[in-house]
Amino acid sequence: MIITGKYPNLRMRRSRKTDWSRRLVQENNLSYNDLILPVFITDGSNKKISIKTMPGVYRYSIDRLGHIVDKSLKKKIPMIAIFPQTNSKLKDSTGSEALNDNNLVCRAIKYIKKKYKNEIGIMCDVALDPYTSHGHDGLLKNKNIVNDETVDVLVQQSILQASMGCDVIAPSDMMDGRIGKIRSGLDKYNLKDVQIISYAVKYASSYYGPFRDAVGSKGALKGDKKTYQMDFKNSDEALREVALDIKEGADMVMVKPGMPYLDVIKNVKDKFKIPVIAYQVSGEYSLIKNAISKKIIDKKSIYETLMSFKRAGANAIVSYFADQIDLDF
Ligand code: PBG
């Protein structure tokens, strides 16, 4: 029960009257420490390719990653998340390119680690969708995404990325039991300090469209991901997913997408008190970006959305806006 005064003794507007007073009573804050920047990578050299459905976001060839890392370091963004656009010639039904120790992601990790050591964190997705000809996150057998066989491959993918120098393994596939298996796989290979951010609560969402365009899995995807990603009608189920992943060894958990799921972020934070990461996904980004460029809303709306994640209880936010904004607002 909150005890409060009564009008006219209490006037809530008194503390809103001046800028200094508003700053004094402000409950939440946003800094670059709260942001993770997703970076799309592509083959070739000297490339910075725009993505039609994500204005202002680019795919970089590895030799141009230095520029984006330097920019992130200057702003003190703690971590980048790498996503590959795999040449369609390298895709097959089992996503075998995921286990190639010279694939795009492996080369990018090595490049960044060699140049920047531990100055910035590197997070990598664990899932097969950038590599499969059918665009699914797992192995497809008799029209089913098979769970346990997929997990075996994800464990190998995790060990490979971690041994290249990836700091944070982020399984985004939603297979059952993968966090525990990945943790013990990493430990067996003496990769005990590699962290796991589990995409514990990932909904089957329409907001991933531009991302799938960016990594080139959109055209490839057959059907939908509803047999493994969560139903957006549910929230109790999210808590069960998080409980399982914590028990299996997740260091942090992700809720994804972001804005339509603020209630879930808050529930997870309140119930489990562990680091929660919100993912402001590609569709959310493009909606806001397009509305700003058409002058429908002001660019300050970006801070408003990012702050909503902090208010809900997120410790950090994966956002394509991370390198575009100026936090002196
Ligand atoms: C791959 C993956 C997806 C996203 C992150 N990792 C797409 C999907 O599951 O289909 C979406 C990110 C975004 O939309 O910004 N498993």
Q: Using the mean position of ligand 1's atoms as its centre, give its distance from the Cα of residue 105 in Å.
A: 16
pLDDT at 226 over 70: yes
The response to whether residue 211 sits with its C-beta less than 6 Å from ligand 1 reads yes
Between CA 22 and CA 274 the distance in angstroms is 29
Please report, as a single letter, which amino acid is at residue 149. Answer: E
User: What number of residues does the chain have?
Assistant: 329
Q: Distance between CA atoms of 150 and 182, rounded to whole angstroms?
A: 12
- Residue to mutate (ligand 1; options 208, 215, 218, 288; most atoms within 8 A of CB): 208
What is the structure's pLDDT at 220?
83
Is the Cβ atom of 129 under 6 angstroms away from ligand 1? Answer: yes
**In this structure, are residues 129 and 136 in contact, taking their beta carbons and an 8 Å threshold?**
yes
Question: Which one-letter DSSP state was computed for residue 97?
Answer: G
Inform me whether the pLDDT recorded for 127 exceeds 60: yes
Return the ligand 1 atom nearest residue 229 CA: 9
Write down the CATH number for the domain with range 32-319.
Answer: 3.20.20.70
pLDDT tens digits, residue range 268-298? 999 999 999 999 999 999 999 999 999 999 9
b (16+ CB within 10 A) / e for 298-320: ebeebeebbbbbbebbbebbbbb
- Residue with CA closest to ligand 1 atom 7: 208
Q: Facing residues of 252 across strands?
A: 197
CA-closest residue to ligand 1 atom 6: 172
- pLDDT of residue 328 exceeding 70, the answer is no
- Residues 183-197 have pLDDT tens digits of 999 999 999 999 999
Query: Around 180, how many Cα atoms within 13 Å sit in the side-chain half-sphere?
Result: 11
CA of 208 to the centre of ligand 1 (A): 6
Q: What is the mean predicted confidence (pLDDT) over 126-149?
A: 96
- Is the predicted pLDDT of residue 85 greater than 80, yes or no? yes
pLDDT recorded at residue 329: 55
- Ligand 1 pocket check for 319: Cβ under 6 Å: no
